[in-house]
Amino acid sequence: MGGKHYAIVVGINPYYNSYIHNLNYAERDALELYGAMCRAGFTQVDLITRFSRRLEDDQVRVGSLVQYIDETIPNQRRNPEDIIWFFFAGHGKRTQDPNNQDRWEDYLLPYDAGLSPGQTWIQVRWIVEKLKETGSKNIILCLDACRQSNGRSIGEEALQGNYEGVITLFACDKRQESFEIEHPDIRHGAFTYALLEAINQKACYPTIRELSEYLSRRVPEICRKYEKPEQTPVFQVEGDLQWQVPALPNVELAADAVDLTVLVQQARSAENAAFDLLQDKYDVEKLEIAKQKWWTVLESDPTHAEAREEIEKIIKRITRRELDQLPGKEAQPQVYGDLNLVINAQVADLSGQPSIPLEVVSRAVEPPPAPPKPKPQPKPQPPDPFSGWSLREWTFETVRVDRRGEIVERLSKTAKSHFVDLGEGVQLELVAIPGGEFQMGSPKEEEKRDSDEGPVRTVTVPPLLVSRYPVTVEQWRRVAGSFPAVLNPKLKADPSQWKDAKGPVEQVNWFDAMEFCARLSKATNRLYRLPTEAEWEYACRGGTQTPFAFGETLTPELANYDGNYTYADGSKGEYRQHTTSVGQFPPNGFGLQDMHGNVWEWCLDDWYDSYENAPSTSEARFRNDNHSHAFNSAIKLNNYQERFFQEMVKVNNEQPKLLRGGSWFSNPRICRSANRRWWGADSIGRNLGFRVFVWP
């Protein structure tokens, strides 16, 4: 089957109705599955969560999701051989159809679902109809939507409908629950975690049969290991051929992976088709085809008794048809006598090339030619989140240090950058960094940590474009001095104490940084902004979980800070007592520089003194709900919106705002990746700067 693979992946954590409990990991399931499918080679994956910007909504509400299913899905025309996955992680329920009490239906629940079926529940059967309108004949419905108190259902019976012509993977049996695993090693639904494992080893599970066998074995193992009740996935597949549908793209189906039942059925059909009813005899050409198919069965299972028996019958039929056409009947008795010896010899050793002493039967007993090897297909590229940006690739070296600050590893890496022309030869470089998840905060055993750096939690971050350095003096001069004002026409064009054009701008408060972002956004019609606190820490760590992006300590050769102080077993060093030109120190694993020290960097968030009740996503945290709504609405559209900046700056001058990274004036403890500080929004200092982030 040479079709392409497509997917629609939906995940919903929060629910508006207080009687429907919120979920912990449905959105994480969806995001991780999105990434796994992209890496596996799916042609297109549509991710639908409250943060994915796929819907024009800040939540996965019934109206926006129904509109997507009703309008977008049918317009995505597919070929009959293409494979479409529809995955849903969230609440679901099986109950009576309100319009037909004699029929039970499966329903999926969006964010604003009510307590009973109706306009706010989405019927799975209707979704299937819309998926079929694409033209694909291979639809895989994958529903992790049966979670109860510790899981994803709000009723006594989990989803279990039967949908004609559709492969359906249910997370659990209809009398069970689908559990979420809270252990730090998992933090997923048990079913989706096993599905992710399988996709990441796709060569081992090429078809629906292998995939279902793995999930049937693995999901109960996970539940037993983490002391959850029994959970057994259920699979509904129509016919033997659907078991052979390629579950994942670009997997060459091995011969021993072919379903033997399908091969036997094909061989029987070919043999039946070989008999000509009108002429009351067998067609030799069609018998040859049937013999080859039975031979394939025997190659898959050398002990298959029916295959051996049918091959013997076919050899006799073909040979007798050949003999009937020979001139002269006197030679036939001797030929028939030798025939039994030939047949017995060939059927006894079906694994090799037969050697037949009689020329007349050579055609009847020779093995089928080996099937041609499939031509390798080019691997489809996963969707590129940066496809709308002009990027240049470059190489760099980052380092790892031990507790003493000695370099123990040098790593060569590549990154891609986009350059924004600010005029007069000044550019703003943005580095494309991949999305992912990380452990935010510091563990209790980290040296000299502060209590406000916890509790540690897993946070999911989307792909980002991040300025490679803090905004520099020359970049500030261009934007503040030449770009049209948005909120503050009195923005100082040259506020810094130190005038090094390549040095970071300083003596700018939070409001100043917001005005800079607003002007740049207006000029480019992109949403340039300050980072959320979670985005900043993810970017700073660069894929690490150590106290610093470079390892266990920091040295003055790696960053600009007060070298009179040390961390771990590091040594004292130079204290420069001022900012330094950006880019002097090594980049982190993402290619970003000056994340530790030089200047503190403003974040968008309000200050909270811990991560209690903080979300598992990278959204900003605000004490004002209007700010949260403005932020979530703006990132959906991801272009310049003056009202976003107007709403964001409606804060008191003394409002505590987040700062990250430390500065030239800080000791190394303060420069750790997890360290947090706050100053009032109108605070100005020789060590306060910022950098800009933008979603692609």
User: Cβ neighbours of residue 110 under 8 Å, at least 6 residues apart?
Assistant: 12, 60, 61, 62, 65, 90, 120, 122
Poorest-confidence range of 86-95, 325-334, 598-607?
A: 325-334
pLDDT given for residue 369 in this prediction: 54
Whether 520 contacts 692, CB under 8 Å: yes
pLDDT given for residue 283 in this prediction: 79
pLDDT given for residue 691 in this prediction: 98
556-560: average pLDDT: 97
pLDDT per residue over 24-60, tens digit each?
Answer: 999 999 989 988 898 888 999 999 998 777 887 889 9
pTM of full prediction above 0.85: no
pLDDT given for residue 468 in this prediction: 98
CB atoms within 10 A of CB 233: 25
pLDDT given for residue 494 in this prediction: 95
CA atoms 450, 405, 588, 471: torsion sign: positive
Q: Does the structure show a pLDDT above 80 at 256?
A: no
pLDDT given for residue 554 in this prediction: 97
First to last CA, the chain: 35
Which of the four pLDDT bands, split at 50, 70 and 90, describes residue 310? confident
pLDDT given for residue 348 in this prediction: 46
User: Cβ neighbours of residue 58 under 8 Å, at least 6 residues apart?
Assistant: 50, 629, 632, 633, 636
**Which pair of tokens denotes residue 113?**
């679902």
**Cα 590–chain centre separation:** 19
C-alpha–C-alpha distance, residues 420 and 516, integer Å:
14
Q: Does the structure show a pLDDT above 60 at 199?
A: yes
User: Cβ neighbours of residue 555 under 8 Å, at least 6 residues apart?
Assistant: 401, 405, 570, 571, 573
User: Cβ neighbours of residue 576 under 8 Å, at least 6 residues apart?
Assistant: 556, 560, 563, 664
pLDDT per residue over 614-653, tens digit each?
Answer: 999 999 999 999 999 888 888 777 778 888 999 999 999 9
Taking 3-state DSSP, the helix, strand and coil percentages for the chain, each rounded to the nearest 5, stand at 30, 20, 50
pLDDT given for residue 240 in this prediction: 52
Which residues partner with 83 through β-bridges? 5, 138
Higher pLDDT among residues 406 and 273, named by residue: 406
113-120: average pLDDT: 80
User: Cβ neighbours of residue 525 under 8 Å, at least 6 residues apart?
Assistant: 639, 640
Amino acid letter, 3: G
Cα separation values, 479 from 102, 510, 560, Å: 67, 16, 26
CB atoms within 10 A of CB 329: 9
110-118: average pLDDT: 84
C-alpha–C-alpha distance, residues 108 and 181, integer Å:
21
pLDDT given for residue 297 in this prediction: 76
3-state DSSP assignment of residue 646: helix
Which of the four pLDDT bands, split at 50, 70 and 90, describes residue 467? very high
pLDDT given for residue 96 in this prediction: 76
Q: Does the structure show a pLDDT above 60 at 174?
A: yes
Which of the four pLDDT bands, split at 50, 70 and 90, describes residue 373? low
pLDDT per residue over 126-164, tens digit each?
Answer: 999 999 999 998 999 999 986 443 444 444 444 556 677
C-alpha–C-alpha distance, residues 683 and 696, integer Å:
31
User: Cβ neighbours of residue 143 under 8 Å, at least 6 residues apart?
Assistant: 87, 88, 92, 106, 108, 124, 159, 168, 169, 170, 171
Q: Does the structure show a pLDDT above 60 at 526?
A: yes
112-130: average pLDDT: 87
Residue in the block written with tokens 């003055």: 556
- Domains defined along the chain, listed by start: 5-149+162-253 (3.40.50.1460), 265-323 (no CATH), 436-694 (3.90.1580.10)
**Which pair of tokens denotes residue 435?**
């999305």
Percentage above 70 pLDDT, the chain = 84
C-alpha–C-alpha distance, residues 490 and 488, integer Å:
5
pLDDT given for residue 224 in this prediction: 93
Mean per-residue pLDDT of the chain? 85
Beta strand 426-433 with 407-423 is antiparallel
Cα separation values, 269 from 93, 200, 290, 519, 524, Å: 42, 37, 8, 72, 65
Q: Which range among 36-40, 228-232, 481-485 has the greatest average pLDDT?
A: 481-485
CA angle 250, 253, 255 (to 5 degrees): 160
Beginning with the edge strand found earlier in the chain, give each strand of the sheet holding 677-680 in spatial order. Answer: 677-680, 656-660, 600-606, 688-689
